[in-house]
Structure 1
């Protein structure tokens, strides 16, 4: 039996190779193009974009943090900003325009709304993750409903974590990247200190 291996086309025969380095451009034009590429990628993404992803559109060893700083400077006075959240960067509207956005047609339903219990459970998971339902029951003194946890999962704020070492190895819950973005956190280390009975933990 004979097997046939398809030969790959040389790069010059296929699509044009993406030029990251832009060596043919003068320094100033190259810098502006890199800034434009980064801003375009951030504009097109609904989630934070990490450094490795941004590095794919600029030259080898390009100072991404400096490019980010220049974009931030250019956005001064604009109704949106470049923010660092959840281990990456994203474009978002400035907080002083929140009321205007809520007043706009069909946009008022976008902000996430929480009941007091939902927020309490979300905080418990954030501070004690990975945690299972029994662990949440220990904190609240009662069972936490599956429906409440399903709502938090539907909002993409929590996900399944590793199995618990308890008998039966129940599922645990952890927070997600969406949780970090929603509450403007770079990482879980940015959670405020939790005070219990006068002591911080």
Structure 2
């Protein structure tokens, strides 16, 4: 009967069973082309892989990421179309946001989810009315400095407000402003696009249309007590 290797002998060889397993996983070859499968089964497997990656990701998944798990000749657009068709009868769907794809619950089930009080994934942070207005101003005016935001509202936009929006992941530092003192500017993030269901900033609603619809009143924000 062979005795297990001692700690001293393992130190001499410099290898353990866990080391060998780790190396094996690192050298595992992922087969993306699936050339050994019939075309129909290959397409089905690519669909399942793409859906699994999107489902597992906390953020929208871009084309370059999905391309790693399918064949080089696979049309991701056609594959996504097939996935969307397959999910047509489900309470969730694949949507195009922030330059990628993400699973989203269909809006008509929002009331049921809110009534359940179940914790949800990726819920947007709750913002005060003023924070929401500042965020919207950053989105429309970026890159914009804190001083420029204060001029827009006719009152100081505090560092605490900026910190709150940064902490929620909605804004980040942009390039330095060419104005005296070279203050930091602020820009929105991909998380902002994802949280508000936008694919790009071009999907932002027209600001004049918001004012005409009564959904935006800069005067009301200026008169809001500090």
Give TM-score scaled by structure 1 length.
Answer: 0.87
Asked whether the equivalents of residues 124 and 195 of structure 2 are also in contact (C-alpha less than 8 Å), the reply is no
Asked whether the equivalents of residues 101 and 107 of structure 1 are also in contact (C-alpha less than 8 Å), the reply is no
Do residues 97 (structure 1) and 122 (structure 2) align?
A: no
Aligned pair partner of 1:75 in 51, 66, 87: 87
Could you say what secondary structure the match of 1:172 adopts? Answer: strand
* Larger Rg, first or second structure (1 or 2): 2
Count of residue correspondences: 188
Can you give the 5+ residue segments of structure 2 that lack an aligned partner in the other structure? 1-23, 213-226
Asked whether the equivalents of residues 80 and 91 of structure 1 are also in contact (C-alpha less than 8 Å), the reply is yes
The residue correspondences of 1:28-107 to structure 2 (distance < 5 A) are 28-107=40-119
Paired with 1:169 and 1:182, the residues of 2 have a C-alpha distance of 30
Which structure features the higher share of helix residues?
Answer: 2
Asked whether the equivalents of residues 93 and 103 of structure 2 are also in contact (C-alpha less than 8 Å), the reply is yes
How far does residue 13 in structure 1 lie from its aligned partner after superposition? 11
Corresponding position of 1:174? 187
How far does residue 112 in structure 1 lie from its aligned partner after superposition? 2.9
Corresponding position of 2:170? 157
Paired with 1:83 and 1:195, the residues of 2 have a C-alpha distance of 27
Could you say what secondary structure the match of 1:174 adopts? Answer: strand
Q: CA RMSD in A?
A: 2.2
Corresponding position of 1:142? 155
Corresponding position of 1:9? none
Corresponding position of 2:200? 187
Q: For the structure 1 residues 108 and 51, does the alpha-carbon distance in structure 2 shift closer, same or farther, using more than 3 Å as the test?
A: closer
Could you say what secondary structure the match of 1:22 adopts? Answer: coil
CA displacement 1:97-120 (0-9 Å, x = unmatched): 112222334527944322211111
Can you give the 5+ residue segments of structure 1 that lack an aligned partner in the other structure? 1-11
Could you say what secondary structure the match of 1:173 adopts? Answer: strand
